[in-house]
Structure 1
Amino acid sequence: MTTLNTYLTFEGNCENAFNFYRSVFGGEFAHVGRFSDMPADPTYPIGDEFRNQIMHISLPISKECVLMGSDTGGHGAPIIVGNNFSISINTDSKEKADAYFAKLSADGKETMAMASTFWGDYFGMCTDRFGINWMISFAEAAPQG
């Protein structure tokens, strides 16, 4: 099964926003990860001022829908309302993930090639030819909390 969810991006106030969304929709966060939880990577250093910011947060809204988000952590383009979201696709196979990625990035921009990640997903990001940001995932490992 393939699902589509919205992924919101913030500049330092993701946690405040998601606490608000939780007050609106109810429920509990399925995952809260901070930039300090990431393995060190000299290519993408995280400044001390970003270490406590949200790397990834997810709030289940229903069985089929999850609202997800993160802060920029000082990386990426400046946030402009309208470019601060992505559509997240979760697939049930690597092959589907690769196929969606290839089709969506054609005549667009690959921002992160499909690859296995430290959090256990096969994951990539692109912007399609119409300027819409996409995140494509296949859960290679069992979910961790």
Structure 2
Amino acid sequence: MTSRLNPYISFAGNARDAMEFYKNVLGGELALNTYGQFGGGTGHDDRIMHAMLETGSGFTLMGADLPPGAEHTPGNNFAVSLSGDDADELRGYWDKLSDGATVAVPLEKQAWGDVFGMCTDRFGITWMVNIG
């Protein structure tokens, strides 16, 4: 397997909902594994220990619910960026991601010439979309 770099997002008990949402946005195949499948007994057996979404566009997004006892502390130092020149594809992602989201920058032409938008989705994840 070729090495790759991809986001791995931690959730506070709603990883299944979030990853299914991202599958709806981006398409692709979603694999979900629960804590219960790998021994369980933690009281969190139905929560997601590992999720991986692989899309036809070559995107890979991973995520999981934090293990029992771990504190969820979201920050503002992380965003997922989608960029390219397929305006229809990227606008489609934006429309779904920004539905119910907090839009910080509307998807519109920017000073550098590209169309760009930034929003924080219903799961607290910041997304940037740039259409070149």
TM-score scaled by structure 1? 0.46
Letter in 1 for 2:17: N
Measured in 1, the distance between the counterparts of 2:57 and 2:4 equals 11
Provide the residue aligned with 1:22 in structure 2. 23
Shift in Å, 1:83: 8.2
Provide the residue aligned with 2:122 in structure 1. none
Provide the residue aligned with 2:59 in structure 1. 65
Spell out, residue by residue over 1:29-84, the C-alpha distance to the aligned partner (whole angstroms, 9 max, x if none): 1x2110001136xxxxx422x110000010013464310010013143x1121289
**1:32 and 1:56 in contact (8 A); partners too:** yes
Gaps of 5+ in 1: 41-45, 86-145
Alignment of 1:131-142 (within 5 A): none
Percent of residue pairs bearing the same amino acid type: 32
Provide the residue aligned with 2:13 in structure 1. 12
> Using a 3 Å threshold, how does the CA distance of structure 1 residues 7 and 70 change in structure 2: closer, same or farther?
same
Compute the RMSD of aligned alpha carbons.
Answer: 2.4
Q: Is 1:33 aligned with 2:33? A: yes
Specify the SS of the correspondent of 2:73: coil
Provide the residue aligned with 1:47 in structure 2. 42
Specify the SS of the correspondent of 2:20: helix
Specify the SS of the correspondent of 1:33: strand
Shift in Å, 1:28: 2.1
TM-score scaled by structure 2? 0.51
Measured in 2, the distance between the counterparts of 1:83 and 1:35 equals 28
Specify the SS of the correspondent of 2:19: helix
Provide the residue aligned with 1:110 in structure 2. none
Structure number with greater CO (CA < 8 Å, separation at least 6) is 1
Q: Is 1:82 aligned with 2:75? A: yes
**1:33 and 1:56 in contact (8 A); partners too:** yes
Alignment of 1:85-100 (within 5 A): none
Spell out, residue by residue over 1:8-47, the C-alpha distance to the aligned partner (whole angstroms, 9 max, x if none): 0001000010111111101221x2110001136xxxxx42
Bigger radius of gyration, 1 or 2?
2
Provide the residue aligned with 1:121 in structure 2. none
